[in-house]
Amino acid sequence: MSALVIAEHDNNELKQATLHAVTAASQLGGEVHILVAGEGSDAVAAQAAAVAGIAKVLHADDAAYGHGLAENVAPLIVGLAEGYDHLLACATTYGKNVMPRAAALLDVAQISEISEILSADSFIRPTYAGNAMATVESSDAKKVITVRATAFDAAAADGGSAAIEAVSGPGDQGLSRFERHELSVSERPELTSADIVISGGRGMQSGENFPLVEAVADRLGAAVGASRAAVDAGYVPNDYQVGQTGKVVAPNLYIAIGISGAIQHLAGMKDSKVIVAINKDEEAPIFQVADYGLVADLFKALPELAEELDKQGISKN
């Protein structure tokens, strides 16, 4: 029995997400291989080979795979699927885009965003925004799986020395082409891997007030997130969104500012180790999941918090 993990990367760097999928794959008990599909991606293949516990790296390097287009990557995966019982990727926008396409080509179901592995064919996955945990059993010959990163620790990025094998696939299907990226540039840590996350909600009232959140984030070395309401209202870009339809985070400390705590937001952060909520409405549902709640006007509380962190010598800058 063996499992193939589809690597996520930008042709230079293996993304942390891949390491979470590797841990899930290791729990299945067989050999774990990684597929690196990219263009000019030798460095990524080398990083994949160094991941602890990896037996082999399959490296498909071709212009068709440079931007991870699902139309080109899915047939590549299908062509390599024969020797594997499990095909896994992290449930990022990349994994969510590519894996169902591969699953349909293999005529198998996808098991989306699993949070626990019970056996080689039985898994737990959150449904209804995490309000119902479904145990599912797959009857398909191959299991195509996406993995919830917060439910599986990252595998060690070093310690391995797997062989790298060059592979090829059907190449460019001529259905789509990449035009451009507009990637958010931030000095702050990535939302999904940050130790501390501070998010603003509708209570922020405007995007212009987000610097109040950022001031605290920078003192804590935290990532900045937002509720769907804040994204909907146009305060911040969509890639800030924490929740059922955005990102799922589980940091050591999650600070919710002016967030009421709608079901769909809780779905994205309720597995955080410690949750703090600051909201002026004492009835806000967020207080029902918060370890520490403070009923306060955020426009007063945020500057006070920044000041207190400085005073206590906690600030990182």
Q: What are the backbone dihedrals phi and psi of residue 174, each rounded to the nearest 5 degrees, phi first?
A: 70, 25
Kindly state whether residue 248 participates in binding another protein, applying the rule CB under 8 A.
Answer: no
Residues 44-63 that bind another protein (CB under 8 A): none
The widest CA-to-CA distance across the chain, in whole angstroms, is 60
Cα–Cα distance, 158 to 165 (Å, whole number): 19
Whole-angstrom CA distances from 208 to 49, 183, 201, 205, 233 are 45, 21, 13, 8, 12
Kindly state whether residue 203 participates in binding another protein, applying the rule CB under 8 A.
Answer: no
Closest to another protein by CB, 162 vs 275, is 275
Residues 80-139 that bind another protein (CB under 8 A): 92-94, 96-105, 107-113, 122, 126-139
Kindly state whether residue 312 participates in binding another protein, applying the rule CB under 8 A.
Answer: yes
Residues 139-178 that bind another protein (CB under 8 A): 139-140, 173-178
Whole-angstrom CA distances from 79 to 144, 239, 250, 266 are 14, 33, 35, 39
Kindly state whether residue 242 participates in binding another protein, applying the rule CB under 8 A.
Answer: no
Q: Are the C-beta atoms of residues 260 and 273 closer than 8 Å to each other?
A: no
Q: What are the backbone dihedrals phi and psi of residue 125, each rounded to the nearest 5 degrees, phi first?
A: -140, 145
270 to 289: interface string for another protein, x by CB under 8 A? x--xxxx----------xxx
In the list 46, 164, 295, 299, the residue contacting another protein (rule: CB under 8 A) is 295
Q: Are the C-beta atoms of residues 22 and 114 closer than 8 Å to each other?
A: no
Kindly state whether residue 296 participates in binding another protein, applying the rule CB under 8 A.
Answer: yes
Kindly state whether residue 305 participates in binding another protein, applying the rule CB under 8 A.
Answer: yes
Residue 83, class by beta-carbon neighbours within 10 Å (0-12 exposed, 13-18 middle, 19+ buried)?
exposed
Count of residues that interact with another protein, criterion CB under 8 A:
92
Closest to another protein by CB, 155 vs 262, is 262
Kindly state whether residue 206 participates in binding another protein, applying the rule CB under 8 A.
Answer: no
Min. distance of Cβ 191 from another protein in angstroms?
A: 8
Kindly state whether residue 197 participates in binding another protein, applying the rule CB under 8 A.
Answer: no
